[in-house]
Structure 1
Amino acid sequence: MISAFIEYRDDPEGLARTLASLVPAAVEGVVKDAFVFARERNGDVAAVTEVSGAVLLAGQSPSQAAEHGRGEWLLLLEAGATLEDGWTAAARSWGGTREAPARFRRVKGSFFARVWPRGRPLASGLLIRRDRFRSVAASSDSLGAVASGRAAGKLDARIVPARP
């Protein structure tokens, strides 16, 4: 159902937390595969990615990344973000009845930080259909750029955003 794509930004511990939060969903069969989208390959990201069983997509554009994975829906996250229990039911429900992208509800931070997340378009994650992702990925240089300004509904599930 879902292929997870995680944008890596020099935080191997955060990447490990994000990948670990996806394990229960993989066991349930909701997350089919996971990919780490990094600008370049380095030892830290390669080691964490390999140990987790995810696939490292280093130096690829978002449109190239869209060719990977088996899920009809793509889950875009920033490294360091973690999803709270129960998110898989919300994602299944959304994916079974809607076409529009969706974001998670954030659990930490002030009201203003939740409403206006400075320059972090993946702070709330993004669940988007593969075909819709492909249509915007060609003109984007990062997963964050794909998510930036994208109108999206709200999932009845929560995310703990990565530390800024």
Structure 2
Amino acid sequence: MLSVVIETNNHEAELAHTLSTLVVGAIEGLVSDVIVLDHGSGDGTERVAEAAGCRYLRAWDLPDVMRQARGDWILVLEPGARPLSGWVEAIFEYMALETRPARFSRSRQHRRSLWHVLFKPRCPLEVGVLLPKPLAVEKAEACGKSPLALARRQMTRKLSCEIIPAWASVRV
């Protein structure tokens, strides 16, 4: 089973996009819970999370969150990121065969523009990070409060499926 952790701040639309993609994982029995870590959003982020049945936290301790996650594996995503078709099967297969952290492959149809390459550094959560729960707890204790910091410290293998990054998912 898999727990998904999403850190957000005023990302109502982005969170809705990500959660809609995760539904198939819940139906297939892969996703056991989704935990939304919020930094005091003033939009409808809380409504979206609660309507989707997520555990919504405004105050948290990251190691405690990782320990209390229901799944044996933790998938950390940024709001707006959307795994593409085949992600459920790819993660099931990976979890059965591996014990090391992994990440999605970048979508070939959603390449970064030259402006993004030059002026916006890549976010490690752009491709998500998949961790076995014991490693997630250990790394959370070492890195502090942010799932982003947790993702930065990982050597990962590539999953056989792609993800649409958050920056390409919701366009204003």
TM over 0.5: yes
Q: Following TM superposition, where does structure 1 have runs of at least 4 consecutive aligned residues deviating by more than 4 angstroms?
A: 111-114
SS of structure 2 residue aligned to 1:71: coil
Structure 1 residues 47 and 147, CA gap change in structure 2 (3 angstroms)? same
Render the CA deviation track for 1:77-114: whole Å, top value 9, x for unaligned.
00010111100111011111111000001111249868
Q: Distance in 2 between matches of 1:24 and 1:92?
A: 13
Render the CA deviation track for 1:35-81: whole Å, top value 9, x for unaligned.
10112364522111111111102221211211322110001000010
**How many residues are aligned here?**
162
Q: Distance in 1 between matches of 2:138 and 2:112?
A: 34
Q: Distance in 1 between matches of 2:59 and 2:4?
A: 17
Q: Distance in 1 between matches of 2:62 and 2:33?
A: 16
Identity of aligned residues (%): 30
Q: In the alignment, which residue of structure 2 is the partner of 1:135?
A: 138
Q: Distance in 1 between matches of 2:68 and 2:165?
A: 25
When the two chains are superposed, the root-mean-square deviation of aligned CA atoms in Å is 1.9
Which has the higher Rg, Structure 1 or Structure 2? Answer: 2
Deviates more, 1:100-109 or 1:59-68: 59-68
Correspondence 1:85 to 2:85: yes
Q: Distance in 2 between matches of 1:58 and 1:126?
A: 22
Measure how far apart 1:123 and its partner are: 0.4
Q: Distance in 1 between matches of 2:29 and 2:12?
A: 25
Decide whether the 8 Å contact of 1:35 with 1:57 is kept in 2: yes
| TM-score (norm: length of structure 2) | 0.87
Deviates more, 1:58-67 or 1:129-138: 58-67
Can you give the 5+ residue segments of structure 2 that lack an aligned partner in the other structure?
none
Q: In the alignment, which residue of structure 1 is the partner of 2:161?
A: 157
Decide whether the 8 Å contact of 1:9 with 1:79 is kept in 2: no
Can you give the 5+ residue segments of structure 1 that lack an aligned partner in the other structure?
none
